[in-house]
Amino acid sequence: MRLVALGTIALDSVETPFGKVRDVLGGSVTYFSLASRFFSKCGVLGVVGVDFPKEHLKMLESHGIDLSGVEISEGKTFKWEGYYEYDMNHAHTVRTELNVLASFKPKIPKGYKGCDFLFLANTDPEIQFDVLDKIRPKHVICDTMNFWIQHKKEKVGEVFGRCDMIIINEGEARQYCNTPNLIKAGRELLKNGTKRVIIKKGEHGALYFSENCFFSSPAFPLENLKDPTGAGDSFAGGTVGYLAGNGTMDDGSIKKAMVYGSVIASYVVEDFSIEGLKTLSKERIDERYGKFKEIVAFEHEY
């Protein structure tokens, strides 16, 4: 397999100033895989309960996603309920039901071992470490979240140290490095053995740091955000998917990959759940990719 991703498959209930949905398809690896599919086949490692609607699995498969690593377990699917206020920069969690996720021990399909690219979405760093050890991919990229930085910082650091790249959001970067300055945080993270760092800044875009490169990508300008859920995982999916598709991991490819990630995320937030991803096409991705060039150009005219 070219690309494998470990993460959650969820039933989300979300309220924003623009609407409300109940028990819709969500989860980090759902967004990630649907976003990556434009560039690479993606194998999924995750778990759902017996209550999980079969049509979701069919939909994912019909979009070219490999589900041989998805376990259907006795019990209920992982559920997240949250809301966004008017500024939509922060998700407020109302309830998290781990359900089948609580006892999830990923079983690795044979075809996933030694894959080219492995993405470890936010989850317990012990599980991330274990999966990484079992799969032994060529390249590994990971995410984490505030909860794990707070409770298992050392283990998070161990995972980071084995990653080719980490993709985290600005709050996590500030928390992990204990500084409000994102430039300092990005460079600090490079000292821990990770060669490449992407810091996601939501409406302000993303920053990339490596030994020889600094890149600042804006976000695509949107007037009508409906639901920011999944934006970060879709950004990661587009970014890592592009790299896996090309089999490259150099600064130049990563910069392009980030713009693809930003473009795909911009379509996700314009609708609820994965609706914006389901119907997305390569043509529409390329259209906004072209606009990105105009948005940042101040010398060359495109």
Hey, what are 101's tokens? 């996720």
Interface residue with its own copies, options 150, 181, 279, 281 (CB under 8 A): 181
Give the nearest distance from C-beta 106 to its own copies in angstroms: 34
Nearest residue (CB) to its own copies, 84 versus 104: 84
Can you tell me which of 51, 203, 270, 275 binds its own copies, judged by CB under 8 A?
A: 203
- Give the residue, chosen from 95, 105, 110, 300, that forms a contact with its own copies under the rule CB under 8 A: 300
Q: For residues 77 and 229, which CB has a smaller minimum distance to its own copies in the complex?
A: 229
Pick one of 258, 263, 269, 280: the residue that binds its own copies (CB under 8 A): 258
**Binding of its own copies by 288 (CB under 8 A):** no
109 touches its own copies (CB under 8 A): no
Q: Does 63 bind its own copies (CB under 8 A)?
A: no
| Window 210-249: contact mask with its own copies (x via CB under 8 A) | ----xxxxxx-xxx-x------------------------
CA gap 13, 182 in Å, rounded: 32
Whose Cβ is closer to its own copies: residue 72's or residue 182's? 182
Assess 88 for contact with its own copies (CB under 8 A): yes
- Give the 3-state DSSP-derived string for the chain, with helices as H, strands as E and coil as C: CCEEEECCCEEEEEEECCEEEEEEEECHHHHHHHHHCCCCCEEEEEEEECCCCHHHHHHHHHCCEEEEEEEEECCCCCEEEEEECCCCCCEEEEEEECHHHHHCCCCCCHHHCCCCEEEECCCCHHHHHHHHHHHCCCEEEECCCHHHHHHCHHHHHHHHHCCCEEEEEHHHHHHHHCCCCHHHHHHHHHCCCCCEEEEECHHHCEEEEECCCEEEECCCCCCCCCCCCCHHHHHHHHHHHHHHHHCCCCHHHHHHHHHHHHHHHHHHCCCCCCHHHHCCCHHHHHHHHHHHHHHHCCCCCC
Count of CB atoms situated within 10 Å of the CB of 174 = 18
Per CB under 8 A, contacts with its own copies among 267-286 are: none
Minimum CB separation from its own copies for residue 74, in Å?
44
CB of 294 to its own copies, least distance (A): 8
Q: Which is nearer to its own copies, 96 or 216 (CB)?
A: 216
Interface with its own copies includes 15 (CB under 8 A)?
Answer: no
Query: Residue numbers of the site for its own copies (CB under 8 A)?
Result: 86-89, 180-184, 187, 201, 203-205, 207, 214-219, 221-223, 225, 252, 255-256, 258-259, 292-301
